[in-house]
Amino acid sequence: MNKYLRFVLISLILLLLQTKILQFLSIEGVTPDLFVIWIVYIAIKNGQAPATVAGFAIGLLLDLVTGEFVGLSALAKTLCGFTSGYFYNVNKTPQTLGSYRFLVVVFIASLVHNILYFLIFTMGTELTFSEVLIRYGVTSTLYTLALSLLPMLVFARKLKVT
Amino acid sequence: MQRLFFIIRLFKEYVLGASLVLVSLLLLSLNDNSQIRQIRSMTLGFVGTLQNAVSFIPNFFALKAENSLLRKSNVDLMDEVNQLREARLENLRLRGLLGLRESINYPIVAAEVVGKTSNPQRNTITLNVGTDAGIKPNMPIVTDRGLVGRIIATSANYSIGQLVLNRDFRAAAKIQRSRVDGILAWEGGQNSLLKNVAKTLDVGVGDAVVTSEYSSMFPANIKIGVVAKVTEQPGDLFKRIEISNSVDFSKLEEVFVIQYHPDPERIQLEEKILR
């Protein structure tokens, strides 16, 4: 299957999961972000530029679907892709995906994404920066990090087999 | 150009990232919600602080343009101030003249002084009103300050006025306080003279001098001035009374001509008897 078509298809499936299913896993209004894991995967597999473009495209798609704050997800996910692209190493892609390094990248990318997203999203409210950081930034990051254990274990198993 | 492409290719990730962030920010700015308003106000505050912080650095090009603009503005304002000052003075003069118009019982014609002839013997003024406005010779000329002179010649649109400060000018006048009569005349200098006042009569410095009822040319009680100096020469029958004129003849601009016609019967009788 065409690489780009596969990318679009997976993104659409993740969009469905994110908007329709993951809301049932919400804890205190915080849900894990499947797209962050997906963008980190693209960054480690393909590099910084594809991850940045993918981040922007996915973010824009999400903005248009939810329609509540056009440009916010695009901005946050563009920077998420750009940040995770720094961990791209063409010789160590399987090792990165199947090890704790994947979790580290997800943590950093997710933290950048969430801080930026929630900082703008909660602007003008009575919430302070530390409240936003702890209540939304860190908890959402940890939730996403927990979910990213699944693909990491799959990639680790795949690495062991090969 | 090639070099530019090379640089772009070298930093393609950064160029791409910056471009997409810029597009995202543009999309964000299209929203009109409280968050964006907050960001706008914060950005404005930040830019304002930044501008304030660097404002001490002089921009010479801007300063030059600003100086030029200020200089032009200064000239315009000076011109405006002069015009306003002129208008204020004119307003004051006209207010005075308006007060005079109400106090005189004869028809009067407003006139502007359009010319002056000053010589040690005969001072005259040219007015912009003439026979077309009903001006005739011998009509009195006054301002709100007092007597100016009389009309001596007219044309259709102009007339010549003989000032009080003229050797040919004569008028019957009196001391307002003591009702002492005399003849108003001028022999040069700043002050007029009240002549033919006997040494025995009551005249003091500061007494107001006005036109007399005896005058066949001027209505009575037009202010002329105040007594400035009284001297008595030995061997002379009369006092020498100097009068400080109430009108400042060097600043005459607007005057009134009183359309005063002495009673012809009185004139005829006086001429008949005096002949």
C-alpha B72/C-alpha B70 separation (Å) is: 5
Q: Is the pLDDT of residue A66 over 70?
A: yes
Q: Supply B66's token pair.
A: 């600003």
C-beta of residue B26 within 8 angstroms of C-beta of residue A74: no
Determine the distance in angstroms separating the CA of A50 from the nearest CA of chain B, rounded to an integer.
Answer: 9
Tell me the residues of chain A between 109 and 138 that have a Cβ less than 8 Å away from chain B: 120-121, 123-124
Query: Given pLDDT bands bounded at 50, 70 and 90, which one contains residue A77?
Result: very high
Q: What is the pLDDT of residue A92?
A: 86
C-beta of residue B159 within 8 angstroms of C-beta of residue B139: no
Q: What is the pLDDT of residue B230?
A: 92
Which of B14, B16, B40 best tests the A interface by mutation, with the highest count of A CBs <10 A?
B16
Q: Which residues of B touch A121 (CB under 8 A)?
A: 35
Determine the distance in angstroms separating the CA of B27 from the nearest CA of chain A, rounded to an integer.
Answer: 5
β-pairing verdict for B254-258 and B239-245: unpaired
C-alpha B116/C-alpha B118 separation (Å) is: 6
Query: Given pLDDT bands bounded at 50, 70 and 90, which one contains residue A126?
Result: confident
Any idea which residue has 């930040």 for tokens? B46
Q: Cα dist. B52→B45, B49, B55, B61 in Å? A: 10, 5, 5, 19
What percent of chain A has pLDDT above 70?
99
C-beta of residue B159 within 8 angstroms of C-beta of residue B171: no
- DSSP of A88-124, one letter per residue? --TTSHHHHHTSHHHHHHHHHHHHHHHHHHHHHHTTT
C-alpha A154/C-alpha A122 separation (Å) is: 36
Beta-carbon contacts of A62 under 8 Å, excluding residues fewer than 6 positions away, are A15, A18, A35, A73, A74, A77
Confirm or reject contact between A78 and chain B (CB < 8 A). Answer: yes
Query: Given pLDDT bands bounded at 50, 70 and 90, which one contains residue A104?
Result: very high
CB contact under 8 A, B13 and A48: yes
Q: Helix, strand or coil for residue A27?
A: strand
Q: What is the pLDDT of residue A145?
A: 92
C-alpha B240/C-alpha B229 separation (Å) is: 8
Q: What is the pLDDT of residue A107?
A: 94
Q: How far is CA B12 from the centre of its chain?
A: 76
Q: Which residues of A touch B9 (CB under 8 A)?
A: none
Along the 275 residues of chain B, how does pLDDT read in single tens digits? 788 888 888 888 899 999 999 999 888 888 877 778 878 788 888 888 887 887 777 677 777 888 888 888 888 888 888 889 888 888 887 777 777 667 777 888 889 999 988 777 788 999 999 999 999 988 999 988 889 999 999 999 999 999 999 988 999 999 988 889 999 999 888 899 999 999 888 899 999 999 988 888 888 888 999 999 999 888 888 999 999 999 998 888 889 899 888 777 877 887 777 66
Least confident of A60-64, A91-95, A110-114, B36-40: B36-40
Question: Strand pairing partners for B208?
Answer: B226
Determine the distance in angstroms separating the CA of A34 from the nearest CA of chain B, rounded to an integer.
Answer: 21
